[in-house]
Amino acid sequence: MKTAIFPNFQKKNALECARKLCDILNESNIEIFVDDSFESEFIDKPYVKYGLFNEFVREADFAIAIGGDGTILKCAKHIIETETKLLGINTGRLGFMSALEYSQLDQISNLKSGKYNISERMMLNACIDSNGSIYELEALNDVSVSAAYSNICDFNIYSNGNIIGSYRADGVVFSTPTGSTAYSLSAGGPIIEPEMECIEMTLICPHSLFTRPMIFSPNKKIKFENAINSNPDIFVSVDGGEPIKLSVNSCVEISCSAHKIKIVDMAGNTFYNSLNKKLMCPIK
């Protein structure tokens, strides 16, 4: 059994967690691979192997992301079109997508015994056509389109070529069910069971009393159209990545991706437990 470690050492306790994780994996006779750039952090652990992460992770049984939800999203991009399963260990703040907290590292031996569940998560495909340049990106969480400096903008939204509405807002978030507990939730969107397949659309600060989030079936193609010359600069960001400027008369097409990510769920850390512990605490 092979594991590929993807740590974010900018997070508190991530280095200590990664080193302890390696010891537990080694005791369970599980191979450990880490990117060359982190060799100095594990120099005293002769059983750790090194290489290029984006190469050995494609042959690994598990990719283990150590950090927060952002770290998990970055790790997920490396395992698209593979059978590698993704496990998150939270050393960040919310860590909603994580299977384990740092204090639960002893459960990592369950990988060897098979005492875990797999949650298959849909992804979104974002095709961005901006001034003749085409970008195709995949999102596990969301695709956000918004104006610079929180300026308000006007845009049209279509579903399979049929116009849904012309909106005035700061922007819009298209999310997967996995991403429904992230930016979309903060913008007023509903929480959706992560194994469902649908596309959620939530407007960001709409200038309207009646605009509500919408849920689309996964076979729909949703289009954001920037058709107003007077709009401020509009940018597209996929899973919080580097924003791409969307020129006037350009569009973003959102559809269900052909790829899925397999996320590991450990006993006692299901979606509902995370929801109860991490999002419901302030109202109890």
Residue with tokens 């659309």: 201
Residue among 154, 144, 146 at smallest CA distance from 228: 154
User: Which tokens go with 142?
Assistant: 């969301």
- Tell me how far apart the alpha carbons of residues 254 and 199 are, in angstroms, rounded to a whole number: 9
* 1 in Cβ contact with 108 (< 8 Å): no
Between the alpha carbon of residue 17 and those of residues 8, 64, 73, 264, the distances in Å are 10, 12, 19, 18
- Tell me how far apart the alpha carbons of residues 210 and 206 are, in angstroms, rounded to a whole number: 9
Catalytic residue numbers, as ranges: 69
Q: What are phi and psi of 182, to 5 degrees?
A: -110, -125
3-class SS of residue 54: helix
Residue among 183, 209, 210 at smallest CA distance from 200: 183
* Residue 33, amino acid: F
3-class SS of residue 224: strand
Residue among 69, 76, 86, 79 at smallest CA distance from 265: 86
Residue with tokens 């005293």: 44
* 253 in Cβ contact with 236 (< 8 Å): no
- Tell me how far apart the alpha carbons of residues 45 and 57 are, in angstroms, rounded to a whole number: 20
- Tell me how far apart the alpha carbons of residues 280 and 284 are, in angstroms, rounded to a whole number: 7
